[in-house]
């Protein structure tokens, strides 16, 4: 469509036409046979995307924060100890969320652009008893990537429930929930899952469901209580109508279509594609002369980048210039450095053309702002990675 701009922010993202077509279909009843089938298919496919075949999937009308809230409220009781491993804004948000449910929270906060070492995490688990730990796989405020596998192993070693905030990672970064022993993996629809905003998505392990069933007190959040939602999910997966709250009918049908597309691509290929596109962005940014928040490539996300503005570049003007070149980027989010950096989302259906168009728009806008660099260096670096 003429005048349409390329949306390269960390959610919402660019969506596949088939997904938007499903979203725009006439709305049916939430107990109609075709919708029951779509809902059941989506629940089953979620477990394949999460690589959690025995997990319990939940689809809720809401945001990623609701998915965080559902995990926290169902698994925490007043006085429980929780360990939060933070690499940015959303780790600290989870700490505040858990406190609302009466948790005694300890926060291990990484230095800017870095991760908390496994030694520090294990030392904490060794010296104090915790019920659960949470960590953000990719913090949307910093683009820092945390390796879930060893943290899952530590949680199992010390018999602690683990919650992975995968809002900015599920279906983009490698996650093997069941193999890695992660108890809850949650996300939102508008990121790498590839569906417009409005769905909170979560898969819980058998262990997490057992801990919830053995609670001594009622869940303190009525809307999020698994006691209300589990029968609904079980009914839909078995092909039966059920009701607690009206589901987001069209979004669920769009989710079914997007999950089909994801699984048709294949998880291994999808993980590799995201890594390749992210590498192209990183190499391009380095070639231009921009530094990013993550301190090392191995802790840099495949789903977004967070480069600092170079000296002399005014952030708002730069983003406006990029917009004029037909690309929409996001400003900073972390309060302490909000005006010092910008964010590029590269997840979901992103392809070679999207990557090169975005890098080209960044180069043109930096030049317009007076930043001196080798013109075309970013494009050449990206093309070398992309082939």
The per-residue pLDDT for 2 is: 52
Q: What is the pTM of this model?
A: 0.97
On whether the CB atoms of residues 287 and 384 are closer than 8 A, the answer is no
Helix runs in the chain, H state only = 17-23, 33-49, 64-75, 89-100, 118-127, 148-157, 177-180, 206-213, 226-237, 249-265, 267-288, 315-324, 352-368, 377-386
Helix runs in 141-266, H state only = 148-157, 177-180, 206-213, 226-237, 249-265
How many angstroms separate the Cα of 43 from the Cα of each of 28, 50, 132, 238, 376?
19, 11, 25, 10, 45
Give the Cα-Cα-Cα angle 288, 290, 296 (nearest 5 degrees): 120
Number of H helices, E strands in the chain: 14, 12
Q: Structural domain boundaries of the chain?
A: 6-11+266-386, 17-265
Mean pLDDT over each residue of the chain, to the nearest integer: 97
Distance of alpha carbon 346 from the chain centroid: 12
- 98 pLDDT band (50/70/90 cuts)? very high
List the CATH code of the domain at 6-11+266-386: 3.90.1150.10
Averaged pLDDT, 69-76: 98
- Give kind and range of the element (H or E) at residue 184: strand 184-188
Q: How does pLDDT run across 139-196, given as a tens digit for each residue?
A: 999 999 999 999 999 999 999 999 999 999 999 999 999 999 999 999 999 999 999 9
Q: Does residue 287 come out as left (phi exceeding 0), alpha (psi in the -120 to 50 range) or beta?
A: alpha
Cβ neighbourhood burial of 355 (10 Å; 0-12, 13-18, 19+): buried
Q: How does pLDDT run across 198-245, given as a tens digit for each residue?
A: 999 999 999 999 999 999 999 999 999 999 999 999 999 999 999 999
CATH 3.40.640.10 holds for 17-265: yes
Cβ neighbourhood burial of 184 (10 Å; 0-12, 13-18, 19+): buried
Kind of pairing between the strands at 184-188 and 199-204: antiparallel
Q: How does pLDDT run across 18-42, given as a tens digit for each residue?
A: 999 999 999 999 999 999 999 999 9
The per-residue pLDDT for 363 is: 98
């Amino acid at each position: 469509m003429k005048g349409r701009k390329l949306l390269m922010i960390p959610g919402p993202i660019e969506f596949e036409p088939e997904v938007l077509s499903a979203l725009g279909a006439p709305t049916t009843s939430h107990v109609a046979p075709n919708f029951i089938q779509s809902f059941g298919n989506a629940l089953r496919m979620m477990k394949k995307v999460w690589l959690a075949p025995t997990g319990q999937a939940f689809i809720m009308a809401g945001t990623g924060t609701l998915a965080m809230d559902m995990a926290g409220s169902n698994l925490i009781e007043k006085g429980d100890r929780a360990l939060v491993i933070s690499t940015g804004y959303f780790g600290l948000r989870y700490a505040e969320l858990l406190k609302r449910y009466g948790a005694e929270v300890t926060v291990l906060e990484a230095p800017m652009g870095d991760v908390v070492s496994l030694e520090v995490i294990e030392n904490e688990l060794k010296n104090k008893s915790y019920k659960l730990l949470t960590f953000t796989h990719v913090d949307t405020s910093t683009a820092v990537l945390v390796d879930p596998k060893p943290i899952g192993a530590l949680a199992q070693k010390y018999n602690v429930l683990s919650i992975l905030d995968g809002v900015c990672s599920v279906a983009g970064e490698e996650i093997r929930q069941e193999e890695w022993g992660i108890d809850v993996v949650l996300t939102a629809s508008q990121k790498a899952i590839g569906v417009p905003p409005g769905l909170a998505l979560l898969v819980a392990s058998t262990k997490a469901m057992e801990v919830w069933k053995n609670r001594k007190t009622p869940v303190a959040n009525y809307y999020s209580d698994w006691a209300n939602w589990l029968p609904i999910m079980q009914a839909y997966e078995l092909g039966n109508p059920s009701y607690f709250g009206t589901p987001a009918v069209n979004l669920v049908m769009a989710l079914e279509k997007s999950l089909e597309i994801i699984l048709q691509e294949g998880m291994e290929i999808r993980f590799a594609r995201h890594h390749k596109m992210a590498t192209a962005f990183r190499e391009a940014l380095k070639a231009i002369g921009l530094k990013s928040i993550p301190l090392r490539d191995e802790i840099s996300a495949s789903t977004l980048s967070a480069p600092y503005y170079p000296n002399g570049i005014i952030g708002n003007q730069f983003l406006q210039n990029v917009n004029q070149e037909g690309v929409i980027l996001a400003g900073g989010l972390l309060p302490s450095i909000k005006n010092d950096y910008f964010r590029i989302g590269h997840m979901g259906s992103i392809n070679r053309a999207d990557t090169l168009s975005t890098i080209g728009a960044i180069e043109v806008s930096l030049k317009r702002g007076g930043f001196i660099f080798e013109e075309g260096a970013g494009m050449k670096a990206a093309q070398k990675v992309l082939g």
